[in-house]
Amino acid sequence: METVAYYRRSTTMQEHSIELQRYKAFEAAKNHHLIVEKEFIDDAISARKTSIDEREQLSNLIELIKDKKIKNLLVYKRDRLGRNVIQHLKMYRIFREYNVKVIFTADEELPMNYSSNGELYEIFIGCMVQLEGKQIHERIKAKREADFRSGKNPGNLPYGYKRDVSNPEKAIIREEMQLSLIKEMYNLVLEGKTVEQVMTIIKSKNKDRKWTAGHIRELLQNPTYMGIRVLHFETSPPITQEYKVLKIVDKKTWETVYEKVEEGRPKVNKRKKKKLELDYILDGFVNCTKCSMPFIGSYSKAIYKCNKCKSELNKDYLEKLVLEHALEYIKALVKTDFIRLFNRHQIKSKKALEQRLAVLKKRAESLKEDLFCNISEQIQKNLTTENNTHEKIVESYKLLKNKELEIEYITSEIFSLEQLPKKVDSIKEYMLKIDNLQDLINFKSKDVLFDIIKTVNVEEIYIDLVYKYPFSGIKEAHLLGVK
């Protein structure tokens, strides 16, 4: 036996159905030119299962690995193997010792490797998974995907179909009268009728709904009628699945009609659909304080929008406000003795930051050592009290990660301070050329904004403009405490 797959479903959560794990395993096997010779299934929900040990098959699998019978293991994600960092690491060491190639079949799972840094890497990934709660989202997504793929849940269906919600299997009901109307629409377009003509004919036949050309176009271009459903996700590409029971026209008919409808689209609509090509000079600067999310320039309207709370700000209003302010600010700086100020700022800040950096680096080193000691200690203790101890590891990992983020931040601050004299010159030069707001907008404003503005925080009732210089850097350097 060379290649095996392992699937697990726990009792605690409705997630990662066995079908999905199997589907993914076979898909991955195909991609790696492997053949799954045996499947190990730990299904705690399945009625056939009588053993108390939820992970009986996993133990069998490990026995086979130790007998050197397995080369490749296909598994959905790390969390199928171990329930926490320690368990996971134990598994990792077995795989490494017996040189088992582990192939994760979930799309976003990072690969496992046995390089010198591999173990540390596994610890970090294990901790991260526990820390960031990313799994919950992934699980919901995986469940939706599995139901969709297995034909259980096609999503919201268009005109002509109904779902029997009272039925646990949520059977699909075809409304044949409605479907024959839709079929007629396809035939009319194939005969050469325009969507507007189709609308007139359908209106006279069926008064159930207000038939509009836009609505008819939408229906005719819906792939459901050729038996294909598309499932959309917020953060990953959509997936498609065939639902034969929904099919009323063949693929060729559907595609021909799709093209005809597209060709016949009124010109105005085409233009309307095109995205606005506006230059959002504040993209990357504006933040929604409430949601800690960026305000992003919209493609359909001249607005900056927070995609979480849906707050929006008029583009011209916001840009004018910020630029006016920035202009005033720079003018005031030029009038004052700002070059000297900048230089003083640079020297003082750099010194403070470098000291801070040295302390942080030392602290991070000792945290790393602690983490390693902790882990090897736990593994040697044979995991008797694992539930409390892995939390300790996660805790020290958290500390280490924070320190690393601070180090990164301070390093970039020092770098930008080193660039400061050059920037001061260019800002000054720039200011000599600018007289009014319009000039500022016309110039390459974004470059200058990057040099001057740090962020624009949009709060409930006011907008908070944060400048980079000359004092903000010093303040931050002193605020950074090392605990």
Which residues sit at the interface with Zn ion, rule CB under 5 A? 288, 290-291, 306, 308-309
- For Zn ion, which is the closer residue by CB, 297 or 473? 297
DSSP bridge partners of 173: 162
- Minimum CB separation from Zn ion for residue 236, in Å? 23
- Minimum CB separation from Zn ion for residue 296, in Å? 11
8 Å CB contact between 380 and 386: no
- For Zn ion, which is the closer residue by CB, 308 or 398? 308
- For Zn ion, which is the closer residue by CB, 311 or 472? 311
- For Zn ion, which is the closer residue by CB, 103 or 306? 306
- Minimum CB separation from Zn ion for residue 137, in Å? 19
- Minimum CB separation from Zn ion for residue 141, in Å? 23
- For Zn ion, which is the closer residue by CB, 53 or 459? 459
- Minimum CB separation from Zn ion for residue 472, in Å? 24
- Minimum CB separation from Zn ion for residue 306, in Å? 3
- Minimum CB separation from Zn ion for residue 293, in Å? 5
Residue 375: C-alpha distances to residues 34, 77, 130, 404 (Å): 35, 22, 16, 19
- Minimum CB separation from Zn ion for residue 292, in Å? 8
- For Zn ion, which is the closer residue by CB, 402 or 457? 457
8 Å CB contact between 233 and 162: no
Q: For residue 228, give the 3-state DSSP assignment.
A: strand
Which one-letter DSSP state was computed for residue 109? P
- For Zn ion, which is the closer residue by CB, 308 or 344? 308
Q: State the Cα–Cα distance between residues 18 and 432, nearest whole angstrom.
A: 69
Q: State the Cα–Cα distance between residues 159 and 215, nearest whole angstrom.
A: 11
Instruction: Name every residue whose Cβ is closer than 8 Å to that of residue 44 and which is 6 or more positions away in sequence.
Output: 9, 10, 11, 54
- Minimum CB separation from Zn ion for residue 290, in Å? 5
- What H or E segment, with its residue span, contains residue 14? none
CB atoms within 10 A of CB 92: 22
Residue 383: C-alpha distances to residues 66, 80, 88 (Å): 20, 18, 12
Q: For residue 93, give the 3-state DSSP assignment.
A: helix
The DSSP line for 247-295 is --S-HHHHHHHHHHHHHTS-HHHHHHHSPP----TTTTTEEETTTTEEE
- Minimum CB separation from Zn ion for residue 326, in Å? 23
Chain Cα centroid distance, residue 303: 23
- Minimum CB separation from Zn ion for residue 60, in Å? 51
Q: State the Cα–Cα distance between residues 276 and 304, nearest whole angstrom.
A: 13
- For Zn ion, which is the closer residue by CB, 181 or 288? 288
DSSP β-ladder status, 463-467 and 312-314: unpaired
- For Zn ion, which is the closer residue by CB, 87 or 311? 311
- For Zn ion, which is the closer residue by CB, 360 or 456? 456
- For Zn ion, which is the closer residue by CB, 308 or 478? 308
Cis omega before residue 470 (within 30°)?
yes
Question: Which has the closest alpha carbon to 44: 74, 80, 95, 93?
Answer: 80
8 Å CB contact between 40 and 60: yes
- For Zn ion, which is the closer residue by CB, 313 or 410? 313
Token output for 313: 């700000």
Task: Could you list the beta-strand ranges (E) of 72-126.
Answer: 72-75, 101-104
* Apex 318 CA angle, 313 and 321, nearest 5: 150
Total residue count of the chain as it appears in this document: 483
- Minimum CB separation from Zn ion for residue 255, in Å? 41
DSSP bridge partners of 72: 3, 101
CB atoms within 10 A of CB 250: 12
